[in-house]
């Protein structure tokens, strides 16, 4: 690419402000306390996560943990926004 880019001072057209969705540096540095659990998962689930983890150069356990954390965060937002509380079941 030896061609020079020519910049012009023209109107951009209709623009839209996007809400800041990136986490702050303090949120990125924060590490939650972990808790070890024993969990039996289906063979197809483990094979899927191992395959995807290899493609993305990460650990499959980390992918599963992030998936569960995302689910919990989404459920917490849903419960908060709807104002519903979970009912406790009698033993």
Confirm if 58 and 65 have CB atoms less than 8 A apart. Answer: no
Q: In percent, how much of the chain has pLDDT > 70?
A: 88
Rounded to 10°, the helix 43-55/60-82 angle is 100
Q: Give ∠ CA 72-78-82 in degrees, rounded to 5.
A: 150
CA 4 vs CA 7, 9, 18, 34: distances in Å: 10, 16, 31, 52
pTM comes to 0.56
**Between 82 and 44, the higher pLDDT residue:** 44
Q: What pLDDT sits at residue 61?
A: 93
What is the structure's pLDDT at 43?
Answer: 97
Per-residue model confidence as pLDDT tens digits over 20-37? 877 777 777 777 788 999
Is residue 63 within 8 A of residue 49, CB to CB? The reply is yes
């Amino acid at each position: 690419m030896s061609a020079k880019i020519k910049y012009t001072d023209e109107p951009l057209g209709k623009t839209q402000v996007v809400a800041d969705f990136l986490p702050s540096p303090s949120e990125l540095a924060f590490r939650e306390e972990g808790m070890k659990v024993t969990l039996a998962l289906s063979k197809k689930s483990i094979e899927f996560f191992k395959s995807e983890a290899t493609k993305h150069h990460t650990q499959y356990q980390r992918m599963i943990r992030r998936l569960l954390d995302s689910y919990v965060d989404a459920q917490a937002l849903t419960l908060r926004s709807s104002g519903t509380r979970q009912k406790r079941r009698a033993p």
